[in-house]
Amino acid sequence: MNASEALARVPKADLHVHQEATRYLDLVLAEREGREPYDWAAWRRELAAAVPPGKERLQRIGSMQPVPLDHDADEELFVARFAALMRDHAAAGAHYVEIRCGGEIVTRDGFMTLFRRAEAQVRTEFPLLHAEALAIVIQAGQDPARADGFADDCVRAAAEGLAGIDFLYAPYDTEADWTHMYRLAERFADAGLGITAHAGELSTANIAAAARMPGLTRIGHGVHAATDPDLMRLLVDRGVTLECALTCNDFFGVLPELDEHPLLRLVEAGVAVTLATDNPVQLGTTIEREYAFAASLGLSIDQLTGVTRNAVRAAFTSPERKAAILAGLDA
């Protein structure tokens, strides 16, 4: 077996993918209408030429909406776009994917029923795939009343199967005020929701605050911790798993002080890492490409298999589903 065959056989998992709502609607509609989908490679080329790497380029994520979001009103299209994302992952070797949704998507009437319908559709073709949904709580500190209302909805959705919460906030590259987010996190943890937060993508800011958040077990990105031994020790001590998105970090140029991505350095320091596509349509990546990227940085096949096990261990899914996913990995 050559290296690429060995890599293809590694079961994969993605704990950090955004729903990319209009991006996936465009893909689904393009196929139905027999037209080409929006040209994301051209979008990336233009963005890279026009906007310098770092914060400014990162802020352009989500700025292009190729089709109106109104299409989401059509239940069948809504299911189809989630199924398309899940199918892309399953076809790339994923056994598990967690999809995070911003806005009011998860509080839509019957959201989890529609999400499970998409999952069931994909499982007829890829029976090993499992999927869960996360809600993104945005700017909780800046609009606490609105955040509290959304939190009520998320706690209700937890009873219907919503798996977890992701926190996004500003400032992102300097220390934010976590007071209100901690308060919400306690409620989410009591409701049995898994908790993650974006941090450490542009700088080391917010990594320590995130790691100490009540109920938090994962951090989205967190890669700047590799520049600070104390932060890496904090992540290890608190058992925090990082969701690393290599193509995303590379394209947005968020690690200018390093000539190579520090994934291997994190692994060698004992930090639990997983791999993620983040925004696969916009970035032109798949979870298989992320594993190949990690292999190119020096991770062995055994380490990559370990990365998937880290993901299952850190997954925001039920013990029954975890056992089923683990059985699938062993098969």
**Closer residue to Zn ion in complex, CB, 7/47:** 47
Q: Please report how close the Cβ of residue 327 comes to Zn ion at its closest, in angstroms.
A: 29
Q: Please report how close the Cβ of residue 182 comes to Zn ion at its closest, in angstroms.
A: 21
**Closer residue to Zn ion in complex, CB, 19/308:** 19
Q: Count CA atoms within 13 Å of residue 187 on its CB side.
A: 17
CA distances from 154 to 37, 192, 238, 307, 323 (A): 33, 11, 25, 29, 25
Q: Please report how close the Cβ of residue 138 comes to Zn ion at its closest, in angstroms.
A: 12
Q: CB within 8 A of 164, min separation 6: which ones?
A: 98, 132, 134, 135, 193, 194, 195, 196, 316
Quick check: 262 and 298 in contact, CB under 8 A? no
Q: Please report how close the Cβ of residue 22 comes to Zn ion at its closest, in angstroms.
A: 16
Binding residues for Zn ion restricted to 256-295, rule: CB under 5 A: 278
Q: Please report how close the Cβ of residue 198 comes to Zn ion at its closest, in angstroms.
A: 6
Please count the residues of this chain forming the interface with Zn ion, following the rule CB under 5 A. 1
Question: How many other CB atoms are there within 10 angstroms of residue 27's CB atom?
Answer: 22
**Closer residue to Zn ion in complex, CB, 20/278:** 278
Quick check: 168 and 138 in contact, CB under 8 A? yes
**Closer residue to Zn ion in complex, CB, 12/198:** 198
| 255-276 burial code (b ≥16 CB/10 A, e <16) | beeeeebbbbbbbebebbbbbb
In the bound complex, which residue of the shown chain has the CB atom lying closest to Zn ion?
Answer: 278
**Closer residue to Zn ion in complex, CB, 14/278:** 278
Q: What are phi and psi of 195, to 5 degrees?
A: -130, 130
Catalytic residue annotation: 201
Binding residues vs Zn ion (CB under 5 A)? 278
